[in-house]
Amino acid sequence: MRFENSGSPENPATKNATAVEVCDLSHRYRVGDRTVTAIDGVNLLVDDGEFVAVVGPSGCGKTTLLRAVAGLLTPSSGRVRVLGKTSRSARQDRALGLVTQDPGLLPWLNVAANVQLTLDITGRGADADKRVSELLERVGIGQFAAYVPGQLSGGMRQRVALARALAHRPRLLLMDEPFGALDELSREEMRLELLRVWEDERTSVVFVTHSIREAVLLADRVVVMNGRPGRVTAEVTIDLERPRSALLEDKPHYQELVSRVRNLLFAEPVPSNASGQVALGD
């Protein structure tokens, strides 16, 4: 199975081929006088240029896993390598892009300035106007460059967030339920927009979602997490042709893949560990 550890991150060939390597990762929090276990013994590999979706029920630690990959928390045990480095080093090298459910746009800056801010922070502001204009056109909101976030719909704000995350050309894009707050029509539009942008950029992606259908439509591989504490319990290779469109959802093979992931997701849950620790919601 691909989520088992294979190869050492010290091997240069592995560095070139692997965007993310998570080995036997566990993380515990202290909440009052309790120890709260979010994930336990998680293993995951993501190849360079691969789009991997992570699905699982609420409380299985998907966001904790993503935060560890992003270098936003130090795991209790185990190892994370991102682009051949520690996750914190990769973040400091500006190799990561992050998109969450909250676009996090600065309300006093217009759309173009919000996207350019990433270039300014990362020191990659050369030809910034051209890069910003190109990205806004690519995500379909070039005509709204002068608008401020308060003048945009939720879907449009997420397009700005995606453009901002891609502005500095990250090698790895981490996405945590980025479309979760959108209505269904906007969510479908953003799925297709993300597919189109990914085809152009070919950035490695780890995409956390509760939607099985969304995961199958977008990903090269779907990783299933289950249990409390959370563990990777299965994965499904998505052998659908690319480029993809919403028309795939009517195809029998797409529906078969959705059913396969659903069956794995709702299989008998992994029991909690013997210490009686509880799992933290994701």
SS (H, E, C) 199-211: HHHCCEEEEEECC
Q: What pLDDT, on a 0 to 100 scale, did the predictor assign at position 88?
A: 86
Supply the pLDDT for residue 276: 40
Q: Is the pTM of this model over 0.85?
A: yes
The confidence score (pLDDT) of residue 267 equals 78
Q: Scan for tokens 């299985």, then name that residue.
A: 60
Domains of the chain, by residue range, sit at 12-95+171-279, 103-169
In the prediction, which pLDDT does 9 show?
Answer: 37
CATH number attached to the domain at 12-95+171-279: 3.40.50.300
- Going from the C-alpha of 157 to that of each of 15, 49, 97, 162, 247, the distances in angstroms are 34, 26, 16, 9, 26
**Rounded Cα–Cα distance for residues 16 and 164 (Å):** 26
CB 40 within 8 A of CB 275: no
Per-residue CA distances from 254 to 114, 166, 214, 222, 241 (Å): 37, 29, 11, 13, 10
pLDDT tens string for the chain (282 positions)? 455 433 333 433 334 579 999 999 999 988 888 888 999 999 999 999 999 999 999 889 999 999 999 999 999 999 999 999 998 888 888 889 999 999 999 999 999 999 999 888 887 666 788 999 999 998 999 999 999 999 999 999 999 999 999 998 999 999 999 998 888 898 999 999 999 999 988 999 999 999 999 999 999 999 999 988 899 999 999 999 999 998 999 999 999 999 999 999 987 654 544 444 444 444
Cα of first residue to Cα of last residue in the chain, in angstroms, is 24
Give me the pLDDT at residue 282, please: 47
